[in-house]
Amino acid sequence: MSLTDNQLIINAQQGDMSSFEELVYRYDRHVLNIAKSFRNNDDDAKDIYQEVFMRVYRGLKNFQFKSEFSTWLFRVTTNVCITHQSRKKDHDSLNKEIYNNDDSSITLADTLTDNKSTDELAVGEDISKYINRALDELPPQQKMVFTLKYFEEYKIREIAEMMQCSEGAVKKYLFTATHKMRDRLKNIMREER
Residues 124-176 have pLDDT tens digits of: 455 667 777 888 888 888 888 888 888 778 889 888 888 888 999 999 998 99
Distances (CA, A) of 23 to 4, 8, 123, 192: 9, 7, 40, 44
> By C-alpha distance, which of 152, 17, 175 is closest to 74?
152
What is the rounded distance in angstroms from the CA atom of residue 114 to the CA atom of residue 116? Answer: 5
- Say which amino acid occupies 121: L
CATH assignment at residue 114: 1.10.10.10
CATH assignment at residue 53: 1.10.1740.10
Q: Which residues constitute the domain of residue 156?
A: 100-193
Q: Are residues 105 and 56 in the same domain?
A: no
This prediction's pTM: 0.59
State whether residue 53 is helix, strand or coil: helix
Q: What's the rounded mean pLDDT across residues 60-79?
A: 89
What pLDDT is attached to residue 149?
A: 85
Q: What's the rounded mean pLDDT across residues 32-38?
A: 86
Residue 44 contacts residue 83 (beta carbons within 8 Å)? no
Structural domains in the chain (count): 2
Q: Are residues 65 and 87 in the same domain?
A: yes
